[in-house]
Structure 1
Amino acid sequence: MVVFNLFITSFVIGFSGASAPGPMMTMVITQCSFKGWKDSIKIVFGHAMLEAVLIILLLLGLQPFLQDPIFLKSFTFLGSIFLIYMGISLFVSLVKKSSLELKNSDPIKIPLPLAGALVSLSNPYWLIWWVTVGVTFLGQARSLLMLGILSFYVGHILSDFVWYIFIGFVGQGLSLPFWNKLYKIILYLASFSLIFFGVYFSKYVILG
């Protein structure tokens, strides 16, 4: 019963975080409008693998290292550069190609799981959440041994998959003929959003 409660709690809290607008949502909508909803699974898989590695590091007692400002800023900078690059690349594609040519092309030129991990790293608040709130949950999960840790992780990740698969369907729907007149406008907004998030998160690196 305690394990099930931990699973439900981590799912609900994870869902509230997953549904917040941000670069991950923008990237999933953009990619799935080009290639289809199934690409959302690949993107979230990269995010999930990154969080699995992070949980292992936290369980090994590396929280102080993960909280180090140099570590935080280094990974945030890497992710921010990726967001800016992706936003600019999308903008250039929109300028050069017609709506028909855009469909079935691929805006992300790297493996989608890697893209999912990089977009997570771009957000400094993601890692800060894990070394504060996430550590508290892990403390409860750890007392229930491996079953507790797995319940926490599966509940947390399941919320990401449920939400972003839904967002993937929304993205795929944008490419339908009904949205044809708005399709490019929405993608222009997505490109500007990615650039904005990249610049905004890079301010954390510069200003601290």
Structure 2
Amino acid sequence: MIYIIELLQALALGFTVGVSAALIPGPMMFATIGISMKNGWRTGPSVFIGHALVESAIFLLILAGAVSFLGESIMSGISIIGGLVMVLFGMMLIGSAKRVSKMDITLSSGKKQLSSGPVSTGVITSALNPSLVIWWLTAGSAIILQEYLLGISAVIVFILGHWIADLGFLVAVSSSFSKGKELFSPRTHEKILYFCGAFMAVFGLWFLANYNNISAFV
């Protein structure tokens, strides 16, 4: 009975951590908004798959004890590469804003377009986001290792709670913006994409400006 309560606490903790992180605007959220206005509500689950793949790798590294072997130079490298990719991604989103805003969303939500783009977006905006990677390898690793003291089941339940929050948030975002053509005028649609692209680029520039300051990402 006590162990069940501990598992429920791990689930609640994972969900709380997930919600707290999701509510802070980041590259993945803005990318999800931009793509869902073209590809529909399925963007959310697809982006989540890519995000979960990256976090799974990070969790395995933490449990394998790899955190102690990662130095500041590697963290700085992640910041530089991540910053450049975010800027490029943002510029691409801005560049496609006018064209995408004039597309028929009912024709642009086919399986072919959904098969790889959103998933790869989830991977890119997670793996190359220094804030996410460094948080998990520092504060996040402490939580996971603490749960590991209770057993691997506690870790799994914690991760499950975290992913429930992530998936729920991404589905809510993509569902909210998937009907962009019906809810917004083409001009408003275009402005939203410009906004999301600009924020993506700003995130990238911030990562580049702080590449040698790990504490800024934690």
The normalised TM-score by structure 2 is 0.84
Partner Cα distance (2:32, 2:137) in 1: 26
Larger deviation, residues 39-48 vs 168-177: 168-177
Q: How does 1:6-155 map to 2 (within 5 A)?
A: 6-66=10-70, 68-95=71-98, 97=99, 99-101=101-103, 103=105, 104=108, 111-155=117-161
> Which whole-Å CA distance do the structure 2 matches of 1:30 and 1:12 have between them?
26
Q: Which segment drifts farther, 13-22 or 176-185?
A: 176-185
Q: Give per-residue Cα distances to partners, 1:157-199, cap 9 Å, x unaligned.
A: 1110011110111221333254434111111111111111111
Alignment CA distance shift 1:54-1:207 (3 Å)? closer
* Larger displacement relative to structure 2 (73-82 or 158-167): 73-82
Q: What SS does structure 2 have at the residue aligned with 1:21?
A: coil
178-187 vs 47-56, which moves further: 178-187
Question: How many residue pairs were aligned?
Answer: 206
2:39, 2:113 within 8 Å by CA — same for their partners in 1? no
Give the structure 2 partner of residue 5 of structure 1: 9
Whether contact under 8 Å (2:91, 2:197) holds in the other structure is yes
Contact 1:122 1:201 in 2 (8 A): no
- TM-score, with structure 1 as normaliser: 0.88
- Provide the aligned C-alpha RMSD in A: 2.4
Q: State the alpha-carbon separation in 2 of the partners of residues 107 and 77 from structure 1.
A: 29
Deviates more, 1:14-23 or 1:81-90: 81-90
Gaps of 5+ in 1: none
What does the per-residue CA deviation read over 1:51-99, in whole Å, with 9 as the maximum and x for residues that have no partner?
A: 1111111111111223x1121122222222222122111222235x273
CA shift for structure 1 position 147:
0.9
Identity over aligned residues, as a percent? Answer: 24
Say if 1:87 and 1:193, in contact at 8 Å, map to a contact too.
yes
